[in-house]
Amino acid sequence: MPDYPISNVLNTIPYGFYALTSRAGDERNVMVLNWFTQTSFEPQHVVIGLDVTAYTYGLIEKGKVFGINIFHKDDVEVIKLFTKSREKNPEKFKAAQYSDGEVTGVPILDQAAAFLECEVTEKMETGSGHDVILGKIVGAGLRKELRADQTLTLPDLGWSYSG
């Protein structure tokens, strides 16, 4: 193991693997995301870490909403459709089967086991290429039974995006 103590420790965190959806007007997008966590109880907030060059980043800045689509491990093939950037696959959203969220209008993927609809409340520029976006949860749904140990994670795929 190379001697990179911080990276070695960050690589021990079992990051989830989610589909992040966004909307600004009639423009919609979906991308994969793993830097996501709950940050408060009342009101309930989550944060995401998002690459500032991502197409979705611009949509979230304009639309001020985003969706977190949570998948069961069995549904890995569905989320893999969204792993390439919009630059590499500009038509990837055409593969998405979705309905607009009842509260925010953000796309909610039909095959997600669970979802959160969020309104952006704060953005923290980090100067690192990834910014932190705080979202207040304003809608949610559980579409099929899902426990934390059944939620799709990067380790399930043998992938890593940390360190």
User: 76: which residues sit within 8 A by CB, 6+ positions away?
Assistant: 152, 156, 157
| 70 within a domain of the structure (yes/no) | yes
Q: What CATH number does residue 146 fall under? A: 2.30.110.10
| 163 within a domain of the structure (yes/no) | no
Alpha helix locations (H) across the chain? Answer: 5-10, 55-63, 76-80, 154-157
| 128 within a domain of the structure (yes/no) | yes
pLDDT score recorded for residue 2: 63
Nearest-CA neighbor of 162 among 1, 47, 27, 6? 6
Q: Which domain holds residue 148?
A: 5-157
Burial per residue of 56-89, b for 16 or more beta-carbon CB atoms within 10 angstroms, e otherwise: bbebbbebbbbbbbbbbeebeebbebbeebbeee
User: 6: which residues sit within 8 A by CB, 6+ positions away?
Assistant: 163
Q: Round to whole Å and give the CA distance between 22 and 120.
A: 11
pLDDT score recorded for residue 45: 98
* Predicted confidence (pLDDT) per residue in 41-93, tens digit: 999 999 999 999 999 999 999 999 999 999 999 999 999 999 988 888 888 88
- Asked whether residue 1 carries a pLDDT value surpassing 70, the answer given is no
* Predicted confidence (pLDDT) per residue in 101-160, tens digit: 999 999 999 999 999 999 999 999 999 999 999 999 999 999 999 999 999 999 998 888
Residue type, 73: K
Number of domains in the chain: 1
